[in-house]
Amino acid sequence: MPSGSQNGQLNALLALISEAVATVRNEFSQSSKPYVPSLNDTEPHPLDTQFSSQALIKAVRTIQGACAQLCTTVVRPNHTLLNSGFNSYEIPCLRLVLSCKVPDILQEKPEGMPIAEVAERANLDKGKLERIMRLLASRHIFREVDTDVFANNRLSVQLLSTNPISSLILHCSEGSSWFITEALTDPKWGHSYAPEHTAWNKMTKFPGQAFSWLGTAEGSQERSIFGLAMVGFGEGIQGHAVIQDFPWNELSPGTTVCDVGGGVGHISMPLAKAHPHLKLKLQDLPASIEQARSVIWQKECPEAIAEDRIEFKAIDFFKEAPIEGCDIYFVKNIIHDWPDKESVTILSNIRKAMKPKSRLLIEEFVLQELGGKDAVEPAPEPLLPNYGAGKILHYKVDLNMMTVLNSKERTLNEFIQLGKQANLEFIKLWNVGELGALEFRGC
């Protein structure tokens, strides 16, 4: 590429960053704390727990993507690849400080604690812990406030043991990704999408699917982590933003919404509170439905029960259709747990229950193609069409699904093809927080 064109790309990236930063400043200026917080802050900013506007989400994606692309453009290629090769050390370091509750220890002295004291409290070697902390602090996780004195910061306070994000990182750092090569080069497993032919199976030697292992005595510790990890995952990706970003308020009173595979009501409960004109149906396996009916909703949302706005009914969505004739069937983070064959079975059973005017909403990550022409709005040039680093979490989660379950996140075209196999027609993609809500109707 001629140098003039390359310099033009640098200028374009700088312009994108400048414009996006202005949007971020404007969004923060309208909050009760009208400033962008410092990395040294340990108190949460109001926008940390609010659903981000689509303007803010797009601006942040642009900044992440443009800054990463700018660095990759100007840094020597071999240096960039060296950094990538050594990235593998950060996750084990995070796992160590979480396992030893280092953030909790530091929280007792917000001004900073000598590493010798931290190491003694954590029962670790001072010299080794110091090196780990310095690596993480160089990535803005913790801060070194004086020589060999460390403190929490804006990122590390998220790692306190009371925060579900800490459980999420522990769950994601269990090590199965190291067995991708063994799984993909296995003559039998490499081309298989069976849920028991995964890198996770190579690591654990467990003969069945990962979800089955969570129900065993051996998997009990991971089971306790997994539940909180999914809460942290939902908070991190603003999974509840569908309550704000989808036009539920435009639906007529008495509209019925069936939450298929909804657990104890992680989405249907806040939906019931935010939109009391809806009538909710919650369906999942018997144990979850019994817990929801007898404990969770009685305590957290008794008004929905008293006003007959919630119905509980157990289901095995592989073997039966959900409650018939609902206006909307809602499926959140279910399809990505399964390969195509099983996903089509789930969707086909939902299709059987739909009436002519029923709609299906699938809330998931929607991956963007880099070379094709899908209907997802591309990022502004010269960014990669999928924002690159701005959406890299989508692709990391996709590989996590492959590694653990032999399932996947999907592109819009892949969702449309799944729908066709289940006799469903794609209507619209709604942007809801970090996710997409794909709307289908029966063919």
Give the active site residues. Answer: 336
Give pTM, 2 decimals. Answer: 0.92
Q: What is the percent of the chain where pLDDT is above 70? A: 98
Per-residue model confidence as pLDDT tens digits over 200-220:
999 999 999 998 998 898 888
Structural fold of domain 237-379+405-442: Rossmann fold (3.40.50)
Query: Residue 182 pLDDT more than 80?
Result: yes
Structure tokens at 343: 């996903």
| Per-domain boundaries in the chain | 3-74, 84-162, 172-234, 237-379+405-442
pLDDT in tens, 270-304: 999 999 999 999 999 999 999 999 999 999 999 99
Structure confidence by residue, pLDDT tens digits, 140-169 = 999 999 999 999 999 999 999 999 999 999
Fold of the 84-162 domain: Arc Repressor Mutant, subunit A (1.10.10)
Could you report the per-residue pLDDT of 413-442, keeping only the tens digit for each?
999 999 999 999 999 999 999 999 999 999
Q: Distance (Å, rounded) from C-alpha 426 to C-alpha 418?
A: 10
Locus of tokens 């969702």: 415
Q: Is the pLDDT reported for residue 227 higher than 70? A: yes
* Cβ(260)–Cβ(330) below 8 Å: yes
Residue 3 neighbours by CB distance under 10 Å: 7
Nearest to 40 by CA among 208, 156, 178: 156
